[in-house]
Amino acid sequence: MNTFKLIGRVAVTLIFVVAAIYVGRQLWGHYMDEPWTRDARLRADVVGIAPDVSGLVSDVLVKDNQTVKKGDILFRVDRDRFAIALEQADAALASSKAALEQARRENDRQGRLGDAASMQKKEQAQTAEEQAEASLRQATANRELAQLNLDRSEVRATVNGTISNLSLRPGDYVAAGTAKVALIDTDSLRVEGYFEETKLPRIHVGDEVAIHLMGQAEKLTGHVESIAYGIEDRERTSGGLLANITPTFSWVRLAQRVPVRIALDKVPDGTKLIAGLTVTAEVQEKGQPKIASAAD
């Protein structure tokens, strides 16, 4: 009887040991080999909206966190100075047209005189007409520039997106080329996951990706759009333009993390897509069975 009890205990112990080894092996494979990461972010391009002309802001037509479409007016630079410049350009253009007409009439008159007119007079008339034509082209260009400045006094959205961190107010002075409004390009929303280099062989362009936003229950889907072809070498002293991903710990030799760009395919209604959110991304390899989300 004691022998049967001993055998039973040993069998139960062996079952638990085998189960523990199996579970440990599965967990090791999941965490160390399967292509997923919690180190991912929801990102979007941020467009710095800058005026093309300098002046005082007369109107701000948007509010912070407002959604806008491409072409919507965001703010206006005081238009009076540009309107006056356009009137001056119109007057100069009219004067140049009149001068050209007079030069052409004089040139025609000298031509009709034939031999009665001296060669010097004819050359002077021809030169005066050519100079008048050049002046007219200059006046036309000045008029177009004045009209362009007047049009550009209305600063418009260049992409579809959301205004963020708005501090511009009427009366502020803005300088041409200096960004004053941050516009988040919502059409550029994507996930950028930083995968360990040991997992890259199992990630391919076009692979399906399960996406889970921290704090939100909705599941998103996407696909691998591209994989970065370079990261910063922190052993070099010179700085560079490549992505520089800091390891989680510095006291052990960790695998480098490489950015993988993931395009969003399906976003459930009501999901709040905010650039900068923490994301868990899990790549579904082609030809492999569906895998559960690591965030579950």
64-116, pLDDT tens digit by residue?
A: 999 999 999 999 999 999 999 999 999 999 999 998 888 888 777 776 666 65
> How far, rounded to the nearest angstrom, does the alpha carbon of residue 10 sit from its chain's CA centroid?
64
Low-confidence ranges of the chain (pLDDT < 70): 1-2, 4-12, 15-33, 111-118, 122, 234-240, 245-253, 286-296
**Residue given tokens 């001056």 in the structure block:** 88
204 and 125 in a single domain? The answer is: no
Say how many domains are in the chain.
3
Whether 15 maps to a domain, the answer reads no
Cα separation, 22 vs 196, whole angstroms = 24
Cα separation, 180 vs 47, whole angstroms = 10
For residue 129, the model assigns a pLDDT of 84
258 and 193 in a single domain? The answer is: yes
Cα separation, 96 vs 9, whole angstroms = 109
Q: For residue range 228-255, list pLDDT tens digits in order.
A: 998 877 666 566 677 776 665 555 667 7
For residue 291, the model assigns a pLDDT of 41
For residue 207, the model assigns a pLDDT of 92
- The CATH number linked to 209 is 2.40.30.170
Task: Specify which residues 279 forms β-bridges with.
Answer: 40, 213
Cα separation, 259 vs 228, whole angstroms = 6
193 and 265 in a single domain? The answer is: yes
∠ CA(240), CA(242), CA(245), 5° rounding?
A: 110
- The CATH number linked to 63 is 2.40.50.100
Q: Specify the DSSP element, H or E, that contains 181.
A: strand 181-185
Cα separation, 273 vs 44, whole angstroms = 10
Cα separation, 20 vs 150, whole angstroms = 75
126 and 88 in a single domain? The answer is: yes
Helices (H), 182-251: none
Give every CB contact of residue 159 below 8 A, 6+ residues apart in sequence.
Answer: 45, 47, 70, 183, 185, 187, 188
For residue 255, the model assigns a pLDDT of 76
- Please give the residue range of the domain that contains residue 61: 51-79+154-178
**Residue given tokens 């599965």 in the structure block:** 26
131 and 146 in a single domain? The answer is: yes
169, 171, 172, 174: CA torsion to nearest 10: 120
75 and 170 in a single domain? The answer is: yes
For residue 292, the model assigns a pLDDT of 43
Report whether 85 contacts 105 (CB < 8 A).
Answer: no
Other beta carbons within 10 Å of 197: 12
